[in-house]
Each structure stands twice: as C-alpha cells, then as structure tokens.
Amino acid sequence: MKRLLLILALGMPATILAAAPPVGIVIHGGAGTIDRSQMSSEQQKNYEATLAEAVNKGYELLAAGGSSVDAVTLAVTVLENSPLFNAGKGAVYTWEETHELDAAIMMGQDRNAGAVASVTTVKNPILLARAVMEKSEHVMLTGKGAEQFALAQQLEQVDNSYFNTEFRYEALKRARQAQQSVPHQAAIIPDPNWKMGTVGAVAIDKDGNLAAATSTGGMTAKRWGRVGDVPVIGAGNFADNTSCAVSGTGHGEYFIRYNVASDICARVKYQGKNAAVAAKEVITELLDAGGTGGVIVVDAQGELSWAFNTPGMYRAKRNHRGTVIEIFADESEKISN
C-alpha cells in the first residue's frame, strides 16, 4: 500500500504535489477619519506612491522566493521611513513633545515573536522587534532596556529629534488644546484621529508560512508611558500557520481588551470560518463595543483581505491576481497591474 501511494505520488504533476497557496502581501498605513475634502490630489498621490513602494518591494521579495518574515519586515521598514505614516520617521508626539515607538513581529510556523515598547532612539523599531525575536530568549523588551539591547545588536540609532515633523507637532498642539484638564487622570481628547495611526504588513510565502509585522508612534499626546495594542501579541499583531496572520490599526485600548488579532484567528481555527468573514465579524463587534479601527489579514490559503469600521484606511495588497491600492472606504477594489 505504501509503495502504491509512492508510485501514485511520483506520477502526479509537481504543481499538485506542492499545492502551495499563492504568495501574497497586504499592507496598511493606518485607519481613521480620512477626509477626502481635506486631501489634495498631490497628497493622495504621495500616499498611494508610498503604499505602492511598500507593497511592491514586499511582493517582489516573495515572488523571488523570499520568506514572509523578510517581506513584512521590508514593507514595514519602507512605511517607517516615510514621514506620511504614524510609525518611524512620521511618529506622533507624546505629551512631553518626544516620540515613543512600539513595534511587533510574529512568524506563523513556530509562533516565534518579538515586540518592543516605548523606544526613543532606534530608527526602525520593526528591526529591533525582529532582533528581539531572533537574537534574544525574550518576546517583549521595553524602554531604555530595549535601547541597550538595540545598541548591543548594532541597530541604527538616531536622536529622538529625527522623528520630528511639523505636521505632527501641529497635531500635538491641537490635541493639547482640545484635551480637557482632568487632574490626576489621563483624559480623552475629542478628536477622532488622535488615537489612530499605525503601519503593518501580513504575508504568505512560497512555503505557506505566514508572518505579521506592525509598527507605530502610538497616540498623539500620550502620557504615563502608555503602550497600545501593537506590542501586545494577539491584540494588534498575530500570526499562526494553522489559521491566519493579522496586523491591526485603531484605538489600541479596544484592540487589547478584545484581543482583535488573535480572536480573528481563533474563529478561523475553532469555528472553521473564512478569515475575511471572521475579520468582518470582529471589526463589527469592536465598533459595537465603541472601538474604531481596522485589520489586514492573510490566511493559510493565501486569501488577502481587510476589514475596517472607519471612513478610511491606507491599504494595499498584491498577489498573482494583481495589485489594489486604496484609501477611502467607498472605493471598490480595482485590480491593476
């Protein structure tokens, strides 16, 4: 019987034997109230060009046989190096006019993961998260200790002022003006976008391995060493080959309380749901609970999807079917190539 199966296997075309899902990548640059009337066509072109650069670099790496963890690292690095998004160079300001950055990365084949919180001098936090995953026995490092580890790993250091941008400084000033003075309390700022902004990528490679990477500057005017969902594995970032890989963006506190990323994958794994359907369910339930934001998802079959409950999310995806780059919620998917 064993011999017969071997003969049958040898007689099958290689494509059927391999039966690998197609490689693919999805990226996001944050969800929120993105107002079409406030965005010039030149601004829109800039956003779309950077999204295209990130998704194309990631896809080309995958198409050349590279790994999903390399593809998501590369795509997130492109977005971190752009001043347009709230991560890396474009990180928002804290209450004290500094920048504190968070990032996480996870591999689906062994669920290895790395995360960093509140780092201030590392140019690309996603590279530090990856070093934590690969070069330490830990999953999560924070603050000055994480920066000492970055130095030991010889990662590129910058002065915290590298992250300064005029656009984000104006946002901090507006956030401070809007913030009610509530003594002894971390109060809410009534601006729908102040808690938003993240970049992320999820991918599947030729071996069927999933990976997710997410990076953020956090919340404008954040205080008290606040950490959001990004470095909380299972909240804003998650990957498991038996279900899916997810990167989230939105109001981090809700993403933590509702385990958004791992809940989507749990519904796939335990309820047998399609990942896109599970993502829509969780993002709908999140809004019911008061939380806004979105996710990008890739499942073990290579299906690429996104779901969000905001007027817009900077997003792009690419696989053998083509490329989609969108910003607003009312855009229908136009595949280009």
Enumerate the active-site residues: 198
* Closest distance of CB 91 from a copy of itself, Å: 16
285 phi, psi to nearest 5 deg: -65, -35
Q: Which residues bind a copy of itself (CB under 8 A)?
A: 106, 111-113, 117-118, 135-146, 148-149, 152-154, 183-188, 223-228, 232-235, 238, 252-253, 256-259, 262-263, 266-267, 270-271, 289
Q: How far apart are CA 238 and CA 32, in angstroms?
A: 21
Q: Which is nearer to a copy of itself, 12 or 187 (CB)?
A: 187
Q: Which is nearer to a copy of itself, 263 or 326 (CB)?
A: 263
Q: How far apart are CA 310 and CA 196, in angstroms?
A: 11
User: Which residues on neighbouring strands pair with residue 213, listed in sequence order?
Assistant: 105, 201
Q: How far apart are CA 279 and CA 212, in angstroms?
A: 15
* Closest distance of CB 278 from a copy of itself, Å: 10
Buried/exposed code over 53-82 (b: 16+ C-beta within 10 A; e: otherwise): bbbbbbbebbbeebbbbbbbbbbbbbbbbb
First to last CA, the chain: 47
Q: Which is nearer to a copy of itself, 82 or 124 (CB)?
A: 124
Q: Taking the CB of residue 238, how many other CB atoms lie within 10 A of it?
A: 33
* Closest distance of CB 49 from a copy of itself, Å: 35
* Closest distance of CB 35 from a copy of itself, Å: 24
Q: Which is nearer to a copy of itself, 235 or 327 (CB)?
A: 235
Q: How far apart are CA 171 and CA 93, in angstroms?
A: 8
Q: Which is nearer to a copy of itself, 226 or 315 (CB)?
A: 226
User: Which residues on neighbouring strands pair with residue 336, listed in sequence order?
Assistant: 323
Q: How far apart are CA 106 and CA 252, in angstroms?
A: 18
**Residue 1 in tokens:** 């019987």
* Closest distance of CB 327 from a copy of itself, Å: 28
* Closest distance of CB 236 from a copy of itself, Å: 11
Q: Which is nearer to a copy of itself, 217 or 252 (CB)?
A: 252
Q: Taking the CB of residue 314, how many other CB atoms lie within 10 A of it?
A: 26
Helix (H, G, I), strand (E, B) or coil at 187: coil
